[in-house]
């Protein structure tokens, strides 16, 4: 591919990447409910109605993995175009192997390293990673067995089940030891009292679902980013540990021409 075509691709992918970074930063921060689901069921006992407080089925719309898979696919295209241009611009320059945590990512020139550093250091890029939704640590999560989420990275907490109850009043006639119940006076009014007792109105279940990451996974991603940035800085420093060459630009002539038009 010619450089002019690659430049056109880079400009297009750069514009797309800028929009993606902005969209993801906002989505991860403001749409965290899209990663959460809850299922509530209720079975009323005879004589009682459904309880809407225990009837809900909110689906997990998306997962962190699903969002990052698409994000990574777009970022790879963008990064390929950016780094190809820098490799072309620095063709023939000294290179150094970029190694992070024992993993080699190829040999790069200073120009390539500086561009890669700038991309990763971008605040919008960092914001995407630092706002990845994470699930609550106070629950025990395990891969879901719910068929609705088969093949997706969705987790569930243990199902909670129980019974709903209510209190009812029952009127009880008090016995009068001084009155024969078989021969009650015509004007007799029995003494009564009210007794409250609890009845079961239905059976419910509650279970939460999530497509979020763990705090540890997000922390490890941010750690790897920091390690890569540090490795790039060290590689640049090592490549720059050479004698400085003098430019071929005639500085005096250039400035005089720029300022006064002197030839």
Could you list the pLDDT tens digit for every one of the 263 residues in the chain? 788 888 888 898 999 999 999 999 999 999 999 999 999 999 999 988 999 999 999 999 999 999 999 999 999 999 999 999 999 999 999 999 999 999 999 999 999 999 999 999 999 999 999 999 999 989 999 999 999 999 999 999 999 999 999 887 777 777 777 776 676 676 777 777 777 788 899 999 999 999 999 999 999 999 999 999 999 999 999 998 888 888 898 989 998 899 899 87
Beta bridge partner(s), residue 134: 213
Contact by Cβ (8 Å): 225, 129: yes
Determine if the pTM surpasses 0.85: no
């Amino acid at each position: 591919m010619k450089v002019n075509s690659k430049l056109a691709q880079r400009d297009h992918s750069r514009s797309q990447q800028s929009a993606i970074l902005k969209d993801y930063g906002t989505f991860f921060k403001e749409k965290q409910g899209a990663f959460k689901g809850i299922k509530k069921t209720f079975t009323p006992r005879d004589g009682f109605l459904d309880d809407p407080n225990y009837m809900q089925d909110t689906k997990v719309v998306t997962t962190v993995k699903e969002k990052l898979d698409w994000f990574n696919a777009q970022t790879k295209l963008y990064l390929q175009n950016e780094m190809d241009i820098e490799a072309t611009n620095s063709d023939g320059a000294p290179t150094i192997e970029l190694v992070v945590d024992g993993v080699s990512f190829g040999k790069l020139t200073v120009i390539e390293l500086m561009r890669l550093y700038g991309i990763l250091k971008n605040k919008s890029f960092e914001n995407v990673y630092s706002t990845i939704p994470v699930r609550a640590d106070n629950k025990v999560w395990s891969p879901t067995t719910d068929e609705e989420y088969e093949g997706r990275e969705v987790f569930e907490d243990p199902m909670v089940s129980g019974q709903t109850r209510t209190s009812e009043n029952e009127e009880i006639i008090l016995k009068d030891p001084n009155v024969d119940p078989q021969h009650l006076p015509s004007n007799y009014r029995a003494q009564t009292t009210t007794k409250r007792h609890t009845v079961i109105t239905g059976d419910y279940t509650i279970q939460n679902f999530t497509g979020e990451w763990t705090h540890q996974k997000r922390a490890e991603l941010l750690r790897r980013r920091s390690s890569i940035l540090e490795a790039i800085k060290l590689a640049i420093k090592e490549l720059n540990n050479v004698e400085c060459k003098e430019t071929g630009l005639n500085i005096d002539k250039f400035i005089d021409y720029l300022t006064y038009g002197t030839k």
